[in-house]
Structures are given as C-alpha cells and as structure tokens.
Structure 1
Amino acid sequence: MSTVIPGDELPGEPVPSGEAAPVGASPGDVPTGGAPAPVPPGAPVRLYPLTYLDEGDEVTVGRPDIDSYAVLPADGAALLRRLGDGVPPAQAAAWYRQTYGEPVDIDDFVDTLRELDFVRETGDDAEPAPRPVRWRALGAAVFSPVGAICLAALLTAWVVAMVRSPALVPTYHNLFFTRYMTVLELVTFVCQFPLILLHEAAHALAGRRLGLRSRLSIGRRLYYVVFQTTMDGLVSVPRRKRYVPMLAGILTDLAVLAALTLGAAATEGPDGTPSTTGRILLALAYMTLLRVSWQLWFYLETDLYYVVVTVLDCVDLQATARDVLRQRFNRILGRPHTVPDETRWHPRDLSVSRWYSWLLLVGWTVSIGTLLAGVLPVAVRVLSTVLGRLVTSHTHGTAGLLDSVGFLVINIAQLAVIAHLVRRERHARRTRPSTVPS
C-alpha cells in the first residue's frame, strides 16, 4: 500500500509500481471504513517502527514490513516524529502551532496514520518480526560490478558477431523462419512468455538486492496473461539507488537479445546460414528488440518514463505534460483553452512539462515509426502470404491451405474474444442498477 499525505499545497512522490492514493488534511479526503475513536488528550500515540527518507521539502515515511508508505511535507514529518517520541497528541499539536504558526487537526492526522497502519492499536504490543528478504544474495551477485562487466562483455561479443555476419543483424525478415504462418505465430507467442517473465523477474530481483519486499505476480489484461512486479518500497530508498531496479528489465532484455543472437551464430553453417534453431533464435531476438524499443513510448509510462521522472525529481509529469500539450494545441488551433491549474499540478511538474511535453511528442513519433517500420511490414507480409494461399490454393497444396486457415482461425478467435468481452462489459454497465440516495 502506498499513500500520499499532501500538506502546504505540496503533492506527494509517485510510486513506480502502483498508483498513490491521496489522503488530504480534511476528514472528507480520508478514506474511512468507520470513524476511529478520538485520541485521549493525555495519552501518547503508540507507533510502529517507521523509516524516514528526507528529500528536501518532502519526507517519505513508511513501514517496510507491510509496504505502507506516505510522502509528507517536512512539517508533517516533524509532527509525526514528535508523536513517535511519545509526545501526547495535544502537546504535539500545541508544539506544531507554536513552531509553524498554524493550527493542525491532530485527531484527523492520527486517523490518517491509522489508515496507513502506522498506529499500534490497543493490545498490539508485539514487535513485528523482521522477515528475511529471499533471493537478496542472488540479486546482489547479479546486479554487481562483476555482473556489469559480464553484461558489457556479452554486448561486445554481440556487436562483434553482427559485424562479422550481417545476417545476424535483427530485422523483421528474421520472423519468417518457416513458411507456415500458424507455426510462426504459435512459436513466437509461446516463447515470449518466459522472456517477459525474465524481464519482470529482473525488476523484482534488483529490488530484493536492496532489501525490498518486491513481488512478482501474474495478472490479466483482457484475456492476455501478464506478469507484474510490485516494488512499493522503492520510494523508501535514496533516489540514486532506484535506477538499477528501474532499468533491470531493459538490461536483461539487452542481455537476452545478445545471447539469442550469439546462440544463432553458433548454429551457422559453412555458408553463414543459421540452422532452423538459429532462425528461431533470431526471430525471438527481433521480438526482444521490439520490446526494448517500446520502452521509448513514454506515454505508456514504461520503465524509462519512471527513470526520467526520478532524474527530474517530478511527481506526476505525464499527466501534467499532457495537460500543457493540450493547452498548447488549443492555442495554436484557436480553440477555447484554460491555463493549467497550478494548484492541481506540482510546481516542479509544471516547470519540467514546458519542455518534456515536446519530448512526449517525440515518444509518440518513435512509436508510430516503430509501428510503420517494424510491425506493419510483418503484418502485410503475413496477410499477403495467407490470402495468396487461399486464392491460389491449388498451387500450394493441402498443407499450405490448412496453415492459412489455421492462422485465420487463431486471429479471428482472438478478435471474437475481445468483442465478446467488450459487449459483456457494456451490457453489465447498462443493466447495473443505479443508486438513488434517499
């Protein structure tokens, strides 16, 4: 769980692995499942052991044992430290007013701490037992100077191999390792799962290296099975230590790309032509290269996006940049527009988005270019092959005809599943009873 407590009009820090739920300073902003009892005036609030990461005007506070974090303004963190030192809430509120010249709703503040599970409830006297982080030693070994040297050597060997044999350079032609389109689709589809899993596992392992309770899980997007990495604890480590966990997936993809290409090189015959196994490896290498290039699609909030946000010390740069870009185009087109709401966006986001919004356009351009140069030619060739076999089935034999029919059935079935899910969701929305307050 990751939560942000803004104060003095300062939004919180973004959490790369999930969305941050804002908790405000007024009772209406705090999600409640029931009203907590008021704090007795003279009784101190008992808190669990908390970690504090000072970052200028903001402080990240959290319980690493349950992955519950919040980003507080410096004055809010100071108030929390007073409560942690055993100062009763009433006295802490008086200290805050004397120090900062403003009153504080201490009961609301403590209620928010309860929502974050920072407060020890009555009868909960046991210290949370520290749980060892599994695979930490492996993560430290993989993402170490020795590991970096091995990766550099692997990438160097990859470049040398491509210089010596241009047939190893990744191109979309590598996807067509067989003339059977059904085999092509099934092999590339099935073999991508372990490679995507390896990408996400690298994120999790790099997080474990820092002692974070990173988790790898399986989720679903529509009917696609996806792998997800959760690293809420990343907000509790200094910024300079966050880059390796963020870049671990891309570095692993590059290592996989090099290893697949070198594996294909090892199968080359005397004429320099890879074997069937080698051609399959080159097809997977090309798909891996596409995944690496897709990291430039900033608007999809990829790994590189979070690296940029961390480097620039921003909060929600993506949404702010889109807003600025929208207003800019409205002015160019002469449409009605409003000035971006400076109370809604973090001042740092507004400052950076003036130029980052143009970089967002570059990301869109790269994504369209990748589609045109890397995906569209493949689709055109596949469809022309399939339709050509259907039109001239007498020249391609039964095997070619069955392959084309099988390919079409697989893809039509996928589209049918999507259409069914969309129709079912729309039906559920239409038939959902509306709630009318009494």
Structure 2
Amino acid sequence: MNVTKESRVVPVELTVRPDRGGFIVEDARTGDYYEMPEPAVEALRRMREGGTLGEIGAELAGRYPDEEIDMVGFAGQLFELGLVAQVDGTAIGNGRPDGESEASAAIEGGVAGRNRRERGGFLWIPQSFARLWVHPAVRAIAAAAVCANIALIAAKPELLPRYRDAFPFESMALNGVTWLVVSLALVLLHELGHIMALRAYGLPAKLGIGHRTIFVVLETEMDGIWRLEPKQRHVAYLAGMGADQLVLLLALAVQAAYPGEGGWALKLAAFAAMDLFVKTLFQCCLFMKTDLYYVLENGTGCYNLMERSRRWLAVTLGGGSDGGRGADKEPRAVRLYAVLLVAGYAFQLGLLAFYFAPQLIASAAAVVPHLADWDGGAAFWDAVVFVLEFALAAGLLVYSWRKQRGGGAASRSG
C-alpha cells in the first residue's frame, strides 16, 4: 500500500523491552523478535498515538538530530515485516512474507533482525524442578569444574585426551557403536542443560538437528530467549557447557584414580573425556554459531554479529552498496569479528583439506573394500558400520542444510 507523509500508520500490538544499546520488540501475535534503536521505538509509540508520518518524522528529527529519519521508509519496513494494523483507519491484513528477507534500516540500526515464531516444547518439565539445574550453587560448581579440569590435566599431562582414546576396542564396528552411543548420550546431556535453563525461566524449548558448516549437531532452539535479561541469557547459553565440564571432571577423575588399568570402564572414561575435550574446543570456534559465539554476541550487544560482519566485509572488500543498512557505521566489535570470521574460515578450510579429507579417504580405502568379503567376518562388518555411519551423517547434514534454507534465523545453542 502506498503511504505518504500525511498517512497515519498504526502498528500491531508490540511488547518493548530495554536491552543493551537499544530495545527488543516482540510481536505479541506471532512471538517474532526485532532489535530496534530508541528512535524506532519512539516512532512506534507516536504511531500508536495517531500522529501522521510527517509530524512524527519532524518531531524525531528534532529530538535525534544525528539520526537520519525517514518515516515513510520506516512504514514500508513495517509493512514488509507484517507489523502494520491500520492505515488511515483501514485495517490491513497482517500476512507475513514467505521469504526470510530482512528489511533494510530506514532509521539507522532499524530492524536488525528477527527470529522465527516461538514454538513450545518441554513444557511438561516443572519450572520449580528446572530451577535446581541453574541454581547459583550449581553454576558455581560447574565453574569450579572448569578450574579442576585444567588443574588435573596440568598436574597429570597423561590425562590429556589422545586420538587413540577414540578406539577403545580392536573392532572398528564396536568402536563405531561406542562412539555413536556415548557421543549421543553426552550431546543429549549438553542439550538438557540448555532445556533446563530455558524451563527455569518459564520458556519453551525445542530440540532439533542443525549444522555448523559441515558438522552435524543437535541444537536447542531458543526463540523465546529474548524475553530474558542479558545475564539470564548468558546462563541459558552456558548451561550446556556447564554439564559438559561436570561430566569431563568425572571422566578425568576416574582415570586419575585408576591409572594404568585397562578395564572397559577406564576405556569409556577416556573416550568420554576425549569426546568432551574436542567438543569444548569446538565451542571455542567463534567463527561458527557455537554456544560461546552467542555469549560473545550477547555480551557485546551486537546481535546478528555474524550476519552484520559478513555484510560489512562484502561492502568493504567488494565496494558494493549495502542497501542503506549502514554497514559503514558498524561498531568496532562487528569489524573485529569480521577479521576472526575470515581467519576462522581459512582455518576450517585448512582443517578440511589437510586433516578431515585425508582421514576420511584413508579410512574409506582401508575399510570399504572389505564390503566385497561376504564371509561375515569382522572386517566385513567394520565396513558395513563405517558406510552406515557415513550415510547417516551425510543424510542429517543434507536435512539440516535444507531446513536452514527453508527457515529463519532463530536463536539456537548446541
């Protein structure tokens, strides 16, 4: 619909919460969230009061002389996002576009992003019970576990996980099954930490399958997390790693208490320690959307940090236009993260080219030919398990890619 400076545009019912450097605005009908600066929030308030776009624009220009105010453009932005209820007294259908295109910022900073509609889940977990998982005492114990793990490995370097810990048994088929069962159990425990944190704050959670580049992961969707204070978000983001560190401490303690023994319990403890150690390093890869990435994003207040950094890189290196989104005015945190992003991608490409690809090729060359052996021996079943695991991982990765292309950018932690 065409609007002018004389138009009176009334937005839908919105809930506004102060946040670092701006405001989080929630569409009360759909549960979608948007980050907006103060001028945009003030514009919404004045629009609800019934002022014309021209009147509101003139008022805001006086109050915010350093901001570029374009109320007609801002109204168009609200139309694109389905946030308009009425125009000049005429009700507007509030259908939302099918695509996930992000509106450009008519007011600097504008609508920086949005999350998918909130979906319920795990509501059967009592909030009172979930609070026990994120009690300050439990969080203190988890923090102490991090220090204890570092101290244990420093005092006993032999506890540092090694690649051979991934092969506790001679049978590759048994190793594969062990990896699948133990790793899945540890991942579910990690995600349970996120789920309990969300339920402790009365929010729903949903467990799904996602990916970080080529790595398939389970992830907890946290669409409602923007209702929380920044400190509470930190708790939810770090709850999974807290569970990891407690289990890692147990695994290291078992190995330290029974050194040199080769029983199955010690082998499983070493396997679990290696799995959790690698996952902790993975969480430190901030160029992917790991738990620590969301902690960084939440701590800096630069939401959509990765997307904003990519856009800044495209404009800076490509010399193109940012469509009026203000990429040239991004804060220092966005520019610094862009450097980390480039370095991280280079590191990951090197890791794929010189580590994962050769490892996969060598494993396939050693195992797959035994598929031709129909005698039912150990080598044949090793090959079968290897192929099935590879097919499962590849199928989940393709599923996650397709799901991401068809969905939005909800907050996830995994």
| TM-score, normalising length: structure 2 | 0.65
Whole-angstrom distance in 1 between the partners of 2:378 and 2:38: 69
Which residue number in structure 1 is paired with residue 132 of structure 2?
141
**Distance change >3 Å, CA 385–CA 275, structure 1 → 2:** farther
Residue aligned with 2:170, SS: coil
Q: 2:338 aligns with which of 351, 357, 361?
A: 357
Aligned runs of 1:396-411 on 2, under 5 Å?
Answer: 399-410=377-388
- Percentage identity across paired residues of the two chains: 21
Residue aligned with 1:71, SS: strand
Which residue number in structure 1 is paired with residue 319 of structure 2?
338
**Distance change >3 Å, CA 206–CA 384, structure 1 → 2:** same
Aligned runs of 1:176-187 on 2, under 5 Å?
Answer: 176-187=167-178
Which residue number in structure 2 is paired with residue 231 of structure 1?
222
Q: 5+ residue gaps in structure 1?
A: 1-25, 29-38, 123-131, 331-336, 426-438
Q: 1:317 aligns with which of 305, 313, 322?
A: 305
Amino acid at match of 1:100: L
Q: 1:75 aligns with which of 8, 32, 39?
A: 39
Whole-angstrom distance in 1 between the partners of 2:360 and 2:243: 27
Amino acid at match of 2:177: L
Whole-angstrom distance in 2 between the partners of 1:246 and 1:97: 39
**Distance change >3 Å, CA 169–CA 379, structure 1 → 2:** farther
Which residue number in structure 2 is paired with residue 433 of structure 1?
none
8 Å CA contact 1:317–1:353 kept in 2: the answer is yes
Whole-angstrom distance in 1 between the partners of 2:248 and 2:185: 13
Whole-angstrom distance in 2 between the partners of 1:103 and 1:67: 26
Aligned runs of 1:85-164 on 2, under 5 Å?
Answer: 87=49, 89=50, 91=51, 93=53, 96-97=56-57, 99-100=59-60, 104=71, 112=79, 115-116=82-83, 135-159=126-150, 161-162=152-153
**Distance change >3 Å, CA 108–CA 164, structure 1 → 2:** closer
Higher relative contact order at CA 8 Å, sep ≥6: structure 1 or structure 2? 2
**Distance change >3 Å, CA 116–CA 411, structure 1 → 2:** same
Residue 276 (str. 1) matches residue 264 (str. 2): yes
8 Å CA contact 1:171–1:286 kept in 2: the answer is yes
Amino acid at match of 2:300: L
Residue 285 (str. 1) matches residue 273 (str. 2): yes
Which residue number in structure 2 is paired with residue 208 of structure 1?
199
Q: 5+ residue gaps in structure 2?
A: 62-68, 93-122, 403-414
Residue 53 (str. 1) matches residue 18 (str. 2): yes
**Distance change >3 Å, CA 414–CA 168, structure 1 → 2:** same
**Distance change >3 Å, CA 72–CA 358, structure 1 → 2:** closer
Whole-angstrom distance in 1 between the partners of 2:138 and 2:286: 28
Whole-angstrom distance in 1 between the partners of 2:80 and 2:394: 48
Q: Deviations over 1:147-189 (max 9, x none)?
A: 1232244345444554565443211110110010011112212
Amino acid at match of 1:218: G
**Distance change >3 Å, CA 72–CA 324, structure 1 → 2:** closer
**Distance change >3 Å, CA 113–CA 280, structure 1 → 2:** same
Whole-angstrom distance in 1 between the partners of 2:12 and 2:391: 55
Whole-angstrom distance in 2 between the partners of 1:300 and 1:94: 43
**Over aligned residue pairs, what C-alpha RMSD do you find?**
4.9
Query: Deviation of residue 256 (structure 1)?
Result: 2.6
Residue aligned with 1:298, SS: coil
8 Å CA contact 2:159–2:256 kept in 1: the answer is yes
Q: Which moved more, 1:287-296 or 1:64-73?
A: 64-73
Q: Deviations over 1:243-262 (max 9, x none)?
A: 22222222322223222333
Q: Deviations over 1:208-250 (max 9, x none)?
A: 3334x231233477xx985332222333434344222222222
Amino acid at match of 1:115: G
8 Å CA contact 2:23–2:41 kept in 1: the answer is yes
Residue aligned with 1:299, SS: coil
8 Å CA contact 2:43–2:60 kept in 1: the answer is no
Residue aligned with 1:195, SS: helix
Amino acid at match of 1:81: R
Whole-angstrom distance in 1 between the partners of 2:341 and 2:325: 20
Whole-angstrom distance in 2 between the partners of 1:358 and 1:114: 31
Whole-angstrom distance in 2 between the partners of 1:370 and 1:110: 42
State the aligned residue count: 354
Whole-angstrom distance in 2 between the partners of 1:414 and 1:226: 13
Amino acid at match of 2:171: Y
Query: Deviation of residue 141 (structure 1)?
Result: 2.9
Which residue number in structure 2 is paired with residue 168 of structure 1?
159
| TM-score, normalising length: structure 1 | 0.62
**Distance change >3 Å, CA 225–CA 158, structure 1 → 2:** closer
Which residue number in structure 1 is paired with residue 208 of structure 2?
218
Higher Cα Rg: structure 1 or 2? 1
Query: Deviation of residue 134 (structure 1)?
Result: 5.2
